[in-house]
Amino acid sequence: MVITDLLERNARLYGNEIALVEVNPSEERDSAVTWREASLIESANGAPYRREMTWSDFDRKANRFANLLLSRGIKKGTKVAILLMNSLEWLPIYFGILKAGCLAVPLNFRYSGDEIKYCLELADCEVLVFGPEFTGRMDTVYKDLPQVKTMLFVGKDKPFYTENCEELMTYCSTSAPPVALDEDDYAAIYFSSGTTGFPKAILHRHRALLASCKTEQNHHGQTREDVFLCIPPLYHTGAKMHWFGSLLSGSKAVLLRGVKPEWILRTVTEEKCTIVWLLVPWAQDLLDSIESGKLNMEDYLLSQWRLMHIGAQPVPPSLVKRWLKHFPNHQYDTNYGLSESIGPGCVHLGVENVHKVGAIGKAGYLWEVKIIDENGNEVADGDIGELAVKGPGVMDCYYKNPEATDEILKDGWLYTGDMAKKDQDGFIYLVDRKKDVVISGGENIYPVQIENLLRKFQKVKDVAVIGLPDSRLGEIATAIVEVKEGIDCTEEEINEFCKELPRYTRPRKIIFDKVPRNPTGKIEKPALRKKYCPDGLVEAQINS
């Protein structure tokens, strides 16, 4: 069995039921008009607020795209890149690629033209599907992509060097293509987030995608009555693999193109969402809006919302406690995963373990975990080591990079690069990224511990801690602090709040600035290091 079989099953059993909804909020929309009503008003202008698709339509569109690829002589094993914003077209194209026996290669929508070119070349992509948001970037690089033989465009105002994907699909059969697929076939190449440098190409087989469906549905118990609200970008494994629980259960999902707190609550209300996956900044913004009075929860219908879960980065315990204060009836969960482990779920807290807030959990369904020292030996409970995971979602390799593959894959175990420790009950706590540990005067300082503390300070919106060079100590811990809007805060206040920490772990330098995050919510620490220490040699100034 492969993952495309699930789509065909849903089309057969639940064909007329809604599979996907796309919501496009707008500042101009009358708040008294629902998304559905607004879609009828705006559709004549070509910009509907809301679109929907049944399971049958989903499967037929996937078949059309697969047959389009085959009609162009594209063979099994060809790499097909997707560069689209979240939309109703995204997933049918993804599944069409898989049905044709090709490899889907999703691209980050924030990539510059040069980064797009780099990834297309690295993954040996021969086909690119992209939307109007990327025309400007593609205009700068399309001449330098000789290996990309076919460029398909989704949307209006087609560039001259592309073909209209939707128009071509109308001439293609809606029947499933005659391509035999096996769980050992290669299915997709995902790119690492790039938070530690140039992204690597991560190769996965069909069996990993199917295993991800089973893990996600086991963890969150999706049924056909659930409605999943998906906000993060579908190019990322986290968003897509959480949606896989909806695929396995045959339930509706809503793609919300926007992260404003009022849009999230309005969509939960109007689409009757029961499960919402949030990134830390979005959850924090929502809570800030409630606590400041900008949002009144009585204006929304939220009683059906049963589960809020967060992933993609360490979750501050203070945030979860704030959340449960306002949403006391919510189940809360967090998942830990990497694109190298096909997204979320290799470590899983579990809704029954809210008393362990701060932990990422235990081994997820179908997974094994261990915490090891530099020699690969398991460390004692309470000691810090590197987290390693093993399971059916582990990548095949870093494509065309055997040296990097050998560094991270050892005897079937994936060495995550994350430092962690385990308590006496077997729950795992992230300490920090191995490469982000600050070594100051010979002592290891773990930035996440400082960040978690500072996020409890009521004036702080976000914080990132990095190491900056120092001639005496080697490195010093430096806190980049983003203060809440309209609030004044001083270095003295930050330093006073940090007195809860052991003296040697306190940040030696405070910088007030915005904390950059990528689309999956991870702090872009390389960008901060480049900004504040561009040549790597600048001596940091120590605060006394």
Question: Angle 55-71/3-14 helices, nearest 10 degrees?
Answer: 130
Q: Is residue 477 part of a domain?
A: yes
What residue has token string 């065909």?
8
Q: Is residue 525 part of a domain?
A: yes
Please calculate the CA angle 172-177-178 and round it to the nearest 5 degrees.
140
Q: Is residue 177 part of a domain?
A: no
For residues 167, 169, 173, 178, the Cα torsion angle rounded to the nearest 10 degrees is 160
User: Which stretch of DSSP H or E encloses residue 512?
Assistant: strand 509-512
* Dihedral angle sign, alpha carbons of residues 164, 254, 251, 354: positive
Q: What is the domain count for the chain? A: 1
Q: What is the pLDDT of residue 503?
A: 81
Taking every pair of C-alpha atoms in the chain, what is the biggest distance, in angstroms?
Answer: 71
Q: Are 401 and 201 in contact (CB under 8 A)?
A: yes
Extract the runs of DSSP E, i.e. beta strands, from 123-245: 125-130, 150-153, 163-164, 186-191, 201-205, 227-230
Q: Is residue 483 part of a domain?
A: yes
Residue 519: which CATH number? 3.30.300.30
The residues near 44 (Cβ < 8 Å, ≥ 6 apart) are none
At 73 the three-state DSSP class reads coil
Q: Which two tokens stand for residue 187?
A: 């299915």
Separation of first and last alpha carbons in the chain: 63
- What is the rounded distance in angstroms from the CA atom of residue 78 to the CA atom of residue 255? 28
Domain that holds residue 490: 444-532
Q: Are 543 and 508 in contact (CB under 8 A)?
A: yes
Q: How far is CA 439 from the centre of its chain?
A: 29
Count other Cβ atoms within 10 Å, centred on residue 483: 20
Q: Is residue 59 part of a domain?
A: no
Count other Cβ atoms within 10 Å, centred on residue 468: 22
What residue has token string 């009358």?
30
- What is the rounded distance in angstroms from the CA atom of residue 79 to the CA atom of residue 191? 13
| HEC letters along 28-39 | CCCCCCCHHHHH
* C-alpha closest to that of 367 among 409, 412, 417, 405: 412
Q: Is residue 462 part of a domain?
A: yes
Residues in the chain where the model's pLDDT stays below 70: 27-33, 35, 37-48, 193-197, 312-314, 432-434, 441-443, 471-472, 519-521, 534-544
Count other Cβ atoms within 10 Å, centred on residue 428: 23
Q: Is residue 458 part of a domain?
A: yes
Q: How far is CA 43 from the centre of its chain?
A: 30
